[in-house]
């Protein structure tokens, strides 16, 4: 689906909270990114997530504010011009919006978004 709809775009995984990785012992979106990379997709990791509250605990306006503060570009990172941002769940769009803005500020001209599930 990704290759057909957005050929040549670079996959960018949404970074999780560090506490989620510590709790689970693994990063499911990073695993997906590695599988896509092994299948021939280019993958870049120019985003980081600053410490922030869990999005699922917040209302819509709080989610937007929280995500806007949480997602940033890694200092010195290179941002591809065309990317497909991947995440596990799409709920309010706040994470997708915040990550897209950060990528566009870093030079991305086109950002698509794909999630595994929607809530």
More confident residue, 57 or 77: 77
pLDDT attached to residue 39: 95
pLDDT attached to residue 12: 98
- Quick one: average pLDDT of 87-98? 91
Question: Taking the model in full, what pTM does it have?
Answer: 0.89
What is the per-residue pLDDT across 9-66, written as a single tens digit (0 to 9) for each?
A: 999 999 987 767 777 787 889 999 999 999 999 999 999 998 887 777 787 888 888 8
How would you write 52-86 as a 3-class SS string? Answer: CCCHHHCCHHHHHHHHHHHEEECCCCCCCCEEEEE
User: Total structural domains in the chain?
Assistant: 1
- First CA to last CA distance, the chain: 21
Domain of 26, CATH number, reads: 3.40.50
Q: Which residues of 86-110 are buried (b: 16+ CB within 10 A; e: fewer)?
A: bbeebbbebbbbbbbebbeebebee
pLDDT band at 105 (very low <50, low <70, confident <90, very high): very high
Residue 109: domain span: 2-118
- Quick one: average pLDDT of 104-110? 97
pLDDT band at 84 (very low <50, low <70, confident <90, very high): very high
Q: Above 90 in pLDDT, residue 104?
A: yes
More confident residue, 56 or 93: 93
């Amino acid at each position: 689906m990704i290759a057909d709809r957005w050929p040549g775009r670079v996959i960018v995984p949404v970074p999780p909270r560090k506490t989620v990785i510590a709790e689970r012992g693994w990063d499911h979106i990073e695993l997906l990114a590695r599988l896509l990379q092994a299948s021939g997709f280019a993958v870049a990791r120019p985003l980081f997530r600053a410490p922030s509250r869990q999005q699922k605990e917040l209302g819509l306006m709080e989610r937007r504010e929280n995500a806007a503060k949480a997602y940033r570009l890694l200092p010195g990172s290179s941002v591809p011009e065309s990317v497909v941002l991947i995440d596990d769940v799409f709920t309010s769009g706040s994470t997708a919006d915040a990550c897209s803005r950060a990528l566009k500020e870093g030079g991305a001209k086109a950002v698509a978004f794909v999630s595994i599930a929607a809530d």
